[in-house]
A and B are shown apart, each in its own frame.
Chain A
Amino acid sequence: MYRSIRVKLTLWYVCILGLVFAALAVGTYLVFVRAMREETRNNLVEMRTDFTALVYRLHSELPHNSPPETPITDALKEFNFRDYRFAVYSNQDQLIGKTLDGDPPPDSLAAVDENRLKQISINGERYGLYVSPLPLNGKMYKLLVLYSLADQSAVETRISTSFLVGIPILLILAGLGGYLLARQGLKPIAVMGEQAKRIGAKNLHERLPIANSGDEIGNLATLFNQLLDRLDQEFERQRRFMADASHELRTPLAIVRGESEVALQKEIRSDAEYRESLRVVNDEAKRLSKIVEDLFTLARVDSGNIKANFRELYVDEIVDECVRRVRTLADKRRIDVTFTSEELVTHGDEALLQQMFLNLLDNALKYNHEGGHISVTGKGKSVTVSNTGPEIPEELKGMIFERFYRINKAHSRQAESFTSGAGLGLSIARWIAGIHQADLRLTRSEAGENVFSVTFPS
């Protein structure tokens, strides 16, 4: 649940929105409170000025023998407001008179400081307090003007309450909206997921739906489809390989089974007949094991699991050894093999290079005619193997290195050889050349002669 992108997106969205709302609320609240305090102070200052003016007026109107505090007490009587309270103290903090229920806390008297608003609490009620000196008759008094903050507190509470209730509601709504938006936005992904679930080896040709090719999700679907294309091709290649491989294995198997079954269907046969059947069975069994070996090599090639043992070696020595090995077979068909080479040193795997040259020589032997010749030449960094034989048609030149490809399959199976005749020899040879960074190609096929060359990196 918490792993779903929809939920994650929504949670992040709500968190960020919550922070923004909170900052906004706190800011608004602070600005508001500040403005109210400013106003309170101004009102208090104004009240003080009015009160002081009244005291002075009363003082000037009163006869000279009246007690000195009379203007103050008279003024206090006159200043009877709902929200404002007044108290006057002597310089020795003796209460002269007040319109206040209860006493302000003693420390508040200390602040006889102009332009300062102080908040105090009397009998559980909050007041804004403004203290200022009141000189009268050569004596100093302290005037305390108080303003009840009950209304202000109510407003503050209402504001904070509405924020505290409103913000969560807003966040819940925003969260819901965000979730729905995320779900809507991610819907193509869910659809893609459903389709992807259905695609397997059996229907690899199917593709994901592309809702809107322009956006990120459409782009992702396109990329997935391209991946599926590549997988499909690879799968098809593997399938073809399997089909070809089983075809190649079936033929010798059919011969082994058929030949032995036919030989056994008659009770008595001559020794020569049995010998012939056994020879056929034996040949096919040998061919089978060669095919299996080749397929095994290719399987290892495909899985990249082949251990090449690279070291400095003389290619000319390897070729010489290979030429010697094919001579017996060549002699049987009166094919003349010549070999000349310069010294050719390279970095390579001896067994693999040997296999490569044997495959090339085998090819030269197989597609040759009785009494033809093969010439192997090493020059510089290249070894060329040329043989007499039928030319390879132009359109087939690209195919000869393909697995299981044979120009004339009956021909390639009949001739006695080192390889399986399953059409894997050149394909394996090219792969071996590849891991040596060497270039193996058919360089010429004309005038009854085919030339293959391997060029090693210099």
Chain B
Amino acid sequence: MRVLLVEDDMRIASFVAKGLRENAYAVDTAKDGDEASYMASLSPYDIFILDVNLPFKNGFEVCSELRENGNSKPILMLTARDAVNDRISGLDTGADDYLVKPFEFRELLARLRALLRRNTEVRAPKICIADLEIDTVSQTVRRADNAVELTTKEYSLIEFLAVNKGRVVGREEISEHVWNDGFDPFSNLIEVYIKRLRRKLDDGYPTQLIHTRRGSGYILNDV
């Protein structure tokens, strides 16, 4: 899942980005409101984390601008102000959730998961395809009741395929949601990761779950 983190305080942005990356999110950061608007217009982020006090354009403004441009992805506001009025105006400008600093990092993760679930067809924290089971809370994967060890990136990829199960997802879509801005579109990174996932999840099982649709992309299903 791809996140745009908008935070002017570098020290906060740094640990939030680090923590999110370690939890299988692809994170880009923006330092001010203008940069946030620009980046949101370039890439299809799955979720936004917005600080309220930002230079040039504050979080509320960025939020209402995103909504005006037809962006319906979840927005979580993050701020040190806990006045009720601030929370209300945050939610009224189109934010989906509000978290006050200082916060428990696990709570931020849980809220992001909840917001992301709300936005997809799959509403259960566990996604199952045939005997493949993906737990989005503990970020663990089991195939036929055997635990499968995956790296963070591998997990991000299988989770993205699982959320879109039964639908062909293209290379570009994968790169946009699983990788952040640093992704090199000419690399064969996706193929490498798909190959690794196949080795870990499909090899040795009677049904193949990860399929390649030549020229269009990949699909996860049990047909």
Question: Which chain A residues have a beta carbon within 8 Å of chain B's beta carbons?
Answer: 243, 246-247, 250-251, 253-259, 261-262, 265-266, 280, 283-284, 408-410, 413-414
Q: Which of A255, A409, A410 touches B15 (beta carbons < 8 Å)?
A: A255
B19 adjacent to A265 (CB under 8 Å): yes
CB distance from B49 to the nearest CB of A (A): 12
CB distance from B204 to the nearest CB of A (A): 28
B102 adjacent to A284 (CB under 8 Å): no
The answer to whether the Cβ of B11 comes within 8 Å of any Cβ in the partner chain is yes
Q: Which of B59-67, B88-96, B103-111, B142-150 lines the interface with chain A? A: B103-111
A243 adjacent to B83 (CB under 8 Å): yes
CB distance from B73 to the nearest CB of A (A): 23
CB distance from B154 to the nearest CB of A (A): 16
B9 adjacent to A251 (CB under 8 Å): yes
When C-beta atoms are compared, the residue in chain B nearest to A250 turns out to be B80
Q: How far apart sit A258 and B10, CA to CA, in the bound complex (Å)?
A: 13
Q: Using A261-B105, A409-B53 as known contacts, list a sample of 10 further A-B pairs with CB atoms less than 8 Å apart, ordered by residue number in A.
A: A250-B101, A254-B80, A257-B103, A258-B16, A259-B11, A262-B16, A265-B23, A280-B15, A409-B8, A410-B9
**Which interface residue of A254, A261, A413 has the most chain B CB atoms within 10 A?**
A254
Q: Cβ of B125: which chain A residues have Cβ within 8 Å of it?
A: none
Q: Cβ of A259: which chain B residues have Cβ within 8 Å of it?
A: 11, 15
- Shortest 5 CB-CB distances between A and B: which pairs? A254-B102, A262-B19, A254-B101, A250-B80, A261-B105
A262 adjacent to B15 (CB under 8 Å): yes
Q: Which of B25-44 contact A (CB under 8 A)?
A: 31
Q: Which of B19, B22, B103 touches A254 (beta carbons < 8 Å)?
A: B103
CB distance from B62 to the nearest CB of A (A): 16
A410 adjacent to B19 (CB under 8 Å): no
Q: Cβ of B12: which chain A residues have Cβ within 8 Å of it?
A: 251, 254-255, 258
Q: Which of B57-80 contact A (CB under 8 A)?
A: 80
B102 adjacent to A262 (CB under 8 Å): no
The answer to whether the Cβ of B196 comes within 8 Å of any Cβ in the partner chain is no
The answer to whether the Cβ of B81 comes within 8 Å of any Cβ in the partner chain is yes
Q: How far apart sit A353 and B106, CA to CA, in the bound complex (Å)?
A: 46
Q: Cβ of A255: which chain B residues have Cβ within 8 Å of it?
A: 9, 11-12, 15
CB distance from B11 to the nearest CB of A (A): 5
Q: Cβ of B23: which chain A residues have Cβ within 8 Å of it?
A: 265
Q: Which of B9, B18, B81, B104 touches A243 (beta carbons < 8 Å)?
A: B81
Q: How far apart sit A258 and B13, CA to CA, in the bound complex (Å)?
A: 10
Q: Cβ of A284: which chain B residues have Cβ within 8 Å of it?
A: 11
Q: Cβ of A262: which chain B residues have Cβ within 8 Å of it?
A: 15-16, 18-19, 22, 105
Q: Cβ of B8: which chain A residues have Cβ within 8 Å of it?
A: 409-410
Q: Cβ of A257: which chain B residues have Cβ within 8 Å of it?
A: 102-105
CB distance from A112 to the nearest CB of B (A): 109
Q: How far apart sit A250 and B23, CA to CA, in the bound complex (Å)?
A: 25
Q: Which of A243, A261, A408, A413 touches B19 (beta carbons < 8 Å)?
A: A261
CB distance from B7 to the nearest CB of A (A): 10
B104 adjacent to A261 (CB under 8 Å): yes
The answer to whether the Cβ of B55 comes within 8 Å of any Cβ in the partner chain is yes
B22 adjacent to A265 (CB under 8 Å): yes
Q: Cβ of A256: which chain B residues have Cβ within 8 Å of it?
A: 102
When C-beta atoms are compared, the residue in chain A nearest to B105 turns out to be A261
Q: Cβ of B31: which chain A residues have Cβ within 8 Å of it?
A: 410
Q: How far apart sit A413 and B80, CA to CA, in the bound complex (Å)?
A: 16
When C-beta atoms are compared, the residue in chain B nearest to A262 turns out to be B19
Interchain Cβ contacts under 8 Å between A and B, 19 examples: A246-B80, A251-B12, A251-B80, A253-B101, A255-B11, A255-B12, A257-B103, A258-B19, A258-B102, A258-B105, A259-B15, A261-B105, A262-B15, A265-B19, A265-B22, A265-B23, A265-B105, A410-B10, A413-B9
Q: How far apart sit A414 and B23, CA to CA, in the bound complex (Å)?
A: 27
A258 adjacent to B9 (CB under 8 Å): no
Q: How far apart sit A409 and B9, CA to CA, in the bound complex (Å)?
A: 9
CB distance from B206 to the nearest CB of A (A): 35
Q: Cβ of B53: which chain A residues have Cβ within 8 Å of it?
A: 409
Q: Cβ of B83: which chain A residues have Cβ within 8 Å of it?
A: 243
With A255-B15, A258-B15, A280-B11 as contacts: A250 and B22 at CB distance below 8 Å: no
Q: How far apart sit A247 and B51, CA to CA, in the bound complex (Å)?
A: 13
Q: How far apart sit A255 and B11, CA to CA, in the bound complex (Å)?
A: 7
CB distance from B34 to the nearest CB of A (A): 14
Q: How far apart sit A255 and B23, CA to CA, in the bound complex (Å)?
A: 18
CB distance from B129 to the nearest CB of A (A): 28
**Which interface residue of A250, A256, A284 has the most chain B CB atoms within 10 A?**
A250
Q: How far apart sit A62 and B135, CA to CA, in the bound complex (Å)?
A: 161
Task: Mark B102-125 against chain A: 1 for CB-CB distance below 8 A, else 0.
Answer: 111110000000000000000000
B106 adjacent to A261 (CB under 8 Å): yes
Q: How far apart sit A257 and B80, CA to CA, in the bound complex (Å)?
A: 14
CB distance from A105 to the nearest CB of B (A): 102
Q: How far apart sit A250 and B9, CA to CA, in the bound complex (Å)?
A: 13
CB distance from A278 to the nearest CB of B (A): 13
Q: How far apart sit A413 and B12, CA to CA, in the bound complex (Å)?
A: 12
When C-beta atoms are compared, the residue in chain A nearest to B100 turns out to be A250
When C-beta atoms are compared, the residue in chain A nearest to B32 turns out to be A410
Q: Cβ of A253: which chain B residues have Cβ within 8 Å of it?
A: 101-102
Q: How far apart sit A243 and B53, CA to CA, in the bound complex (Å)?
A: 14
Q: Cβ of A254: which chain B residues have Cβ within 8 Å of it?
A: 12, 80, 101-103
When C-beta atoms are compared, the residue in chain B nearest to A413 turns out to be B9
Q: Cβ of B11: which chain A residues have Cβ within 8 Å of it?
A: 255, 259, 280, 283-284, 413
CB distance from A98 to the nearest CB of B (A): 111
CB distance from A43 to the nearest CB of B (A): 99
Q: Which of A243, A251, A414 touches B101 (beta carbons < 8 Å)?
A: A251
Q: Cβ of A247: which chain B residues have Cβ within 8 Å of it?
A: 80-81
Q: How far apart sit A256 and B103, CA to CA, in the bound complex (Å)?
A: 10
CB distance from B150 to the nearest CB of A (A): 15
Q: Which of A246, A250, A408, A414 touches B10 (beta carbons < 8 Å)?
A: A414
Q: How far apart sit A440 and B83, CA to CA, in the bound complex (Å)?
A: 35
